[in-house]
Amino acid sequence: MIEYPIPMVPGPTSVPQVILDAMNRDYPSPDLEIEFLDLYNQTEKLLQVLYETKNRMVIHTGEGMIALWGALKSTLLPGDRVLALASGVFGYGIAEMAAAIGAEVKVYGVEYDQTFQDLDAVERIIETFRPKMITAVHCETPSGTLNPLEKIGILKQQYEIPLFYVDAVASLGGAPVKTDEWAIDLCLGGSQKALSAPPLAAFIAVSDSAWRIIKEVGYVGYDALLPFWDAQEKFYFPYTPNWHGVSAIYQAVKLILDEGLEEVFKRHETVADYCRRELQAMGLRLFPAKEAIPSPTVTAVYIPEKFDWKELDRRLREKGLVVGGSYGLLAGKIFRLGHMGSQAKMELVEKALSVIKEVVHST
């Protein structure tokens, strides 16, 4: 099987041995053993620290998309108004998902190389449109940007918008996600980005007001949040939980908390700054516009003119480096380095940059 000597894909990220070890045993039935419930409850507590929240967590088997869908379907009814703030593939995608459920969606979009900093226009829309939900993406992984959420949270509170939905899948564990301070009602995370676990779980921090709406809506489905309301109390989950997976998540979050949240965020910032500086020094052009905020978890770079993506990818792989391409409008235009979680390491990024330098400067 192919191995990545220098893994820099922006998810799934490379999984540390301690996390693999946490899964590597023959677990008994999670439906029967109280030991599983204890682990689930403890994992919820660790996730609450990571999310900086008092809100209850839902831990779904699956990966990021089950959280994105489940949180929309569990809270929206046809005709509900949704304001989708979109600056990239996921932001526009969430708008389409909400529309598919029958919501009346207003998209406030900016270019993919921008982030939401000036919210005057957003505030004017909120004043008249009065949405039930505002959606936003924290880290837009395909474009390497990080949208600040604090001011959106202030507007949400000021205009008493019932739901603030945030996709934090690619920032959680690599950048601060202040769920309570930013007034996020549905905060979504996944296992295979900065947590560096395999793609096996998604988490949603659910506020009290979101739980009220979830009960009103009463959505029934595999991805529904409602059954998790009393799943722990009744020790009755809507499907057989993934003990291996929850065990991996427990270990992944514990690794982060043992290192220290501040330390972990600083490590991501340092590595990201270094990566961007060095790429520019090689003559490469970063993707996000100057005024946009780059994400500490992923760097997006224009593919140099002399290569197409396939050729660049082939040349980098020859030297052991595997990076990400991109999607949607950016496919074939940019490539991305995922310095998140286990991959936010200086030695690794130095190796990656030296390969890029060799390839880019070759003739």
245 binds ligand PLP (CB under 6 A): no
From the list 44, 80, 113, 167, which residue makes contact with ligand PLP (rule: CB under 6 A)? Answer: 167
Nearest to ligand PLP of 8, 360 (CB atom): 8
Smallest separation (angstroms) from ligand PLP to the CB of 346: 23
Pick between residue 90 and residue 92 the one whose CB is nearest to ligand PLP: 90
Nearest distance from C-beta of residue 199 to ligand PLP, angstroms: 6
Looking at the Cβ atoms of 163 and 169, the one nearer to ligand PLP is 169
Tokens of 89: 């593939």
Residue 206 CA to residue 185 CA, distance in Å, equals 6
223 binds ligand PLP (CB under 6 A): no
Considering only CA atoms, which of 1, 43, 32, 289 is closest in space to residue 189?
A: 43
Binding mask 67-106 toward ligand PLP (x if CB under 6 A, else -) reads -x---------------------x----------------
Distance between CA atoms of residues 186 and 131, nearest Å: 15
AA identity, residue 7 = P
Q: For residues 18 and 248, what is the distance between their CA atoms, to the nearest angstrom?
A: 9
Cα–Cα distance between 7 and 169 in angstroms, integer?
19
**137 in contact with ligand PLP (CB under 6 A):** yes
Task: Give the nearer residue to ligand PLP in terms of CB position, either 7 or 64.
Answer: 64
Tokens of 361: 């400067």
- Give yes or no for residue 11 binding ligand PLP (CB under 6 A): yes
**Residues of this chain, 180-199, that bind ligand PLP according to CB under 6 A:** 190, 193, 199
Judged by beta carbon, residue 113 or residue 355, the one nearer ligand PLP is: 113
Single-letter amino acid code for the residue at 295: S
Q: Report if residue 141 touches ligand PLP, rule: CB under 6 A.
A: yes
What is d(CA 260, CA 129) in angstroms, rounded to the nearest whole number?
41
Single residue of 63, 80, 223, 313 touching ligand PLP by CB under 6 A: 63
Encoded tokens for 86? 């979109």
Burial of 158 (0-12, 13-18, 19+ CB in 10 A): exposed
Quote the CA–CA distance of 227 and 221 in Å, as a whole number: 10
| Interface segment toward ligand PLP; rule CB under 6 A; list 40-48, 157-165, 166-174, 299-307 | 166-174
Amino acid at 273: D
Beta bridge partners, 336, equal: 300, 324
Site for ligand PLP contains 177 (CB under 6 A): no
What is 157-190 written as a DSSP string? HHTT-SEEEEE-TTTBTTB---TTTTT-SEEEEE
**Which range, of 1-9, 28-36, 60-68, 328-336, touches ligand PLP by CB under 6 A?**
60-68
Is the CB of 146 or the CB of 360 nearer to ligand PLP? Answer: 146
In the complex, the residues that contact ligand PLP under the rule CB under 6 A are: 11, 63-65, 68, 90, 137, 139, 141, 167, 169-170, 190, 193, 199
